[in-house]
Amino acid sequence: MGVTRTMLLAAFLAVTTACATVSGGGSPQPQPSGSPRTDSTPAPRPAATKLDPAQAERLQRVMIPLLKGMNKPLDPREVKVGVMDDASINAANAGSGQFIVTTGLLQKANDDQLRGVLAHELAHDDLHHVAKAQTLGAGLNIGAIILDQIIPGSGAITPIAGELVARGYSRKEEYAADAHGAEILERVGYSRQVMIDTLNWLISQTGGSKGGFLATHPGTSERVEALKHLK
């Protein structure tokens, strides 16, 4: 898929498929004195930031090998990753070879944790799990990283400023995605322990909150135990 097509973003922004709920990034701007907000006043959009080009290269380095472990490997030339400007640790499968990660995930996860999250998302894609979602308050600028190439000047990529809202997967779907994600990892030379450690890390990072990656991923502690007992 060419670079021109990767930037045709209208449909991508309007309705996507995802497996996570992302709380909006950024902080509301203060209202000028004497100008109270009214119901008709649109809420300010979260501020966008520039993406560190090293993170773009990191996504490629971590994600491309995982594609080879899928039942139906995606062509790296047709995979796009959008980066959402949100401090929450999160990721989503947006369908048609499109994925979303948050700046919070990129900033807080080490390579193995990022690898575990991405393997889980690829597993949902491989297993044809679908959760309808939409982006809310999304800006027009998107950081679209093409996995088979390093984009010159990628420091100028602007992550999505907005909010992604999604229906959660069922517990059965989550167990299946965990197991298949572990299988994807093993196929490309990593241990299933990467997935177990990633889930434990996500639990520790959320502190029992209802937001972020675990918002639509039920029964996480039970899922860790299930992974430990996989044959």
Q: CA-CA distance, 178 to 222, in Å (whole number)?
A: 11
Give the pLDDT confidence of 177-209 residue by residue, as tens digits: 999 999 999 999 999 999 999 988 988 887 654
**Burial (CB count <10 Å: 0-12, 13-18, 19+), residue 76:** middle
| Domain residue limits, the chain | 14-22+47-228
Mean pLDDT highest for which of 6-15, 41-50, 106-115, 124-133?
Answer: 106-115
**pLDDT at residue 168, as a whole number:** 62
Point out the least confidently predicted range of 55-69, 91-105, 158-172: 158-172
Give the pLDDT confidence of 44-77 residue by residue, as tens digits: 444 445 667 888 889 889 999 999 999 999 999 8
The pair phi, psi for residue 218, each rounded to 5°, is -70, 160
**pLDDT at residue 130, as a whole number:** 62
The closest of 112, 107, 122 to 201, measured between CA atoms, is 112
**Which amino acid appears at position 174 of this protein?**
E
Interaxial angle between packed helices 111-126 and 171-187, expressed in degrees from 0 to 180 and rounded to the nearest 10: 120
Task: Tell which wins on pLDDT, 104 or 225.
Answer: 104
Task: Tell which wins on pLDDT, 214 or 155.
Answer: 214
The closest of 222, 185, 221 to 206, measured between CA atoms, is 221
Measure the CA angle with vertex 89, ends 79 and 53; round to 5°.
50
**pLDDT at residue 93, as a whole number:** 80
Mean pLDDT highest for which of 83-92, 108-117, 137-146, 170-179?
Answer: 108-117
